[in-house]
A = this chain, B = another copy of it.
């Protein structure tokens, strides 16, 4: 029950809002929670941060160097957002200069798995997708 549970366990309510939707219980597509998690992990940087922190605890500028392309501001905002949702723990060491470490919480680590599988899917299919995209654009001129 741990390796592949495409749908939530019994007893877990599918959705707490939008109960007026004629949603078959076989799906959670209409559940706002799906949209909510995408707002968190689906922005430009969160997923990369989660993947990186899945490798181990990291300092701020360490993440900044590794992620490559992320601005200071966006790294701060992304980490704050993940911290707010309880996915990342922020540890401040009041030294001079200050030291701040970030690491995944238990929930954050549980997110790492589906997120990394989505990342793996992206890597595996990127050429085919790029090709399909080119074909589509070429057909439409």
Contact = CB atoms under 8 A, between A and B. Distances in A.
Interface of A: 3-9, 12, 14-15, 18, 21-24, 26-31, 33-38, 40-44, 47-48, 51-52, 55, 65-69, 83-87, 107, 110-111, 113-126, 128-129, 131-133, 135-137
Number of copies: 2
Given A85-B132, A117-B114, A30 B125 contact: no
Nearest to A48: B29
Contacts of A120: 5-8, 28, 114
Contacts of A21: 66, 68
Given A85-B132, A107-B125, A51 B66 contact: no
B6 A117 contact: yes
Nearest to A134: B84
B113 A6 contact: yes
